[in-house]
């Protein structure tokens, strides 16, 4: 399919400390027309599914500005420049929850929204998580830790009490990994 798309030019439209926005002008060779497409470029992310030794998920509840609502999700965040995503997973787990694990496994990655976002989100599961009690929130993070068994988690998904698409994708990868 990509053989029908020819990149003509890229215009930088916006940049701040979080992201930059490009307009990518592509010619669609099937009809000869050119159009600008929006690309939001940001750091890659990591999300971690923390599972305690008694099988409960460790989730974080926090206010999300874009939707102006509080969400319930797995911990995660941006990968620092030059930081391996495996180390970012360990860092984010402890920073946001105060939990540590000696059994962290990589489940793969997803493109959060490839229509407009250029980044990847790497997914990890952390088994036998133990609360070491030391969080290190970012300057503008206000996080509440929530422990939940898998049955309750599934009910929250069904009832739209968990709506973060990366959480849904991560949980799907988690379920599929349990089948292998």
My answer on whether 22 and 111 are in the same domain is no
Tell me: do 31 and 105 sit in the same domain. no
Residues 31 and 96 grouped into a single domain: no
Please indicate, yes or no, whether residues 25 and 77 belong to a single structural domain of this protein: no
How much is the pLDDT for 115? 97
Are 18 and 80 part of one and the same domain? no
- Judgement on whether residues 36 and 57 belong to the same structural domain of the protein: no
Q: How many domains does the chain have?
A: 2
Q: Are 43 and 35 in contact (CB under 8 A)?
A: no
Domain that holds residue 119: 43-178
pTM, full prediction: 0.94
Please tell me whether residues 63 and 137 are part of one structural domain.
yes
Q: Are residues 137 and 147 in the same domain?
A: yes
Claim to verify: residue 63 and residue 8 sit in the same structural domain: no
Q: Mean pLDDT per segment of 10 residues, for the chain of length 180 residues?
A: 95 96 98 98 98 98 96 98 98 97 98 98 98 88 95 98 98 92
Residue 153: phi and psi, rounded to 5, are -60, -50
Domain match, 48 and 25 both: no
Rg of the chain (C-alpha set): 19
Residues 6+ apart with CB under 8 A from 53: 128, 129, 130
Output the domain CATH number for residue 90.
Answer: 3.90.79.10
pLDDT at position 140, please? 86
């Amino acid at each position: 399919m990509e053989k029908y798309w020819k990149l003509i030019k890229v215009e930088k439209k916006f940049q701040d400390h979080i992201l930059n926005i490009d307009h990518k002008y592509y010619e669609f060779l099937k009809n000869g027309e050119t159009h600008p497409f929006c690309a939001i470029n940001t750091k890659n992310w990591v999300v971690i599914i923390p599972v305690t030794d008694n099988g409960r998920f460790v989730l974080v509840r926090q206010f999300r500005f874009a939707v102006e609502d509080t969400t319930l999700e797995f911990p995660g965040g941006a990968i620092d420049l030059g930081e391996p995503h495996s180390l970012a997973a360990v860092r984010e787990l402890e920073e946001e929850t105060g939990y540590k694990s000696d059994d962290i496994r990589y489940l793969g990655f997803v493109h959060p929204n490839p229509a407009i976002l250029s980044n990847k989100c790497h997914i990890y599961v952390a088994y036998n998580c133990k609360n070491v009690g030391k969080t290190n929130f970012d300057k503008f993070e206000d996080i509440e830790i929530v422990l939940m068994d898998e049955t309750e988690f599934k009910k929250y998904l069904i009832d739209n009490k968990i709506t973060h698409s990366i959480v849904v994708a991560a949980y799907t990868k988690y379920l599929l990994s349990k089948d292998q």
